[in-house]
Amino acid sequence: MYWELFSVFFRVGAFTIGGGLAMLPVVEREVVDRKKWITKEDFTDLIAVTQTLPGVLAVNMAVAVGYRIKGVKGSLISVLGAVLAPFFSILVIAMFFQTFRENPVVERIFMGMRPVVVALITVPVITTMRSIGPRLSSGLIAAAAALLIWLFGVSPIWIILAAGTGGYIWHRIEKKKKGGPNA
């Protein structure tokens, strides 16, 4: 099992271009669809949690999935797999990039990659919205958060804290309506 965890996250780290959000569909395909280690709902919850934690999303996701599957050792093996390939790729690029940095062909290649990276980041947002069941209220909350950050310069930390507080209050209200325990 440890080898499987390592190889899944090594492949994710090696073949995902565009950062943490771009790797989410690859991780989902591997751990939810192919390996069936976790459910779609659990994966969506892991995305929410790992995005709020400090650090690199790919590493946070590797820790969460590895821990869910094989505890602390599983998380360590998953992280090793996730960071090993990018580490060596960046090392090689750093060694040779200065030589090719001013090359017009290299500049055009990177300019061409930008829209693809945007698409790779957009896909997980759409699939996550589909998995949680899009509602008008969810869309309005997301739009309000984006506008507060973009137009008014509100720190995302305050948005996350407000959303967490709002979710907790909403949960308590719903619990009281249903007459649940600790209502």
Residues 34 and 20 in one domain: yes
Residues 167 and 124 both lie in one domain: no
Q: Which domain holds residue 168?
A: 135-183
Over 70: is that where the pLDDT of 181 sits? no
Question: Is the pLDDT confidence value at 183 over 60?
Answer: no
Query: Is residue 85 pLDDT above 70, yes or no?
Result: yes
Question: Using CB atoms within 10 A of its CB, is residue 45 exposed (0-12), middle (13-18) or buried (19+)?
Answer: middle
Which is higher by pLDDT, 113 or 155? 155
pLDDT at 72: 94
Closest CA to 41 of 28, 59, 50: 28
Angle between helices 20-28 and 2-15 (to 10 degrees): 140
Q: Enter the tokens of residue 70.
A: 């094989």
125 and 142: one domain? no
Do 140 and 71 fall into the same domain?
A: no
Q: How confident is the model at residue 74 (pLDDT cuts 50, 70, 90)?
A: very high
Indicate whether 96 and 142 sit together in one domain: no
Check if the beta carbon of residue 82 is closer than 8 Å to that of residue 10: yes
pLDDT in tens, 5-39: 999 999 888 877 766 777 888 888 899 999 999 99
Same domain, 19 and 78: yes
Asked if 60 and 145 sit in the same domain, the reply is no
82-110: average pLDDT: 83
Q: Is 67 within 8 Å of 75 (Cβ atoms)?
A: yes
The reply to whether 43 and 31 lie within a common domain is yes
Query: Which of 134, 151, 169 delimits the end of a domain?
Result: 134
- Is residue 46 within 8 A of residue 57, CB to CB? The reply is no
Do 85 and 153 fall within a single domain? no
pLDDT > 90 fraction of the chain, expressed in percent and rounded: 28
Task: Judge if 104 and 65 occupy the same domain.
Answer: yes
Same domain, 150 and 104: no
Which among 134, 151, 170 is the end of a domain? 134
122-145 pLDDT, tens digit per residue, is 777 777 777 767 777 777 888 889
Give how many domains the chain has, as a whole number. 2
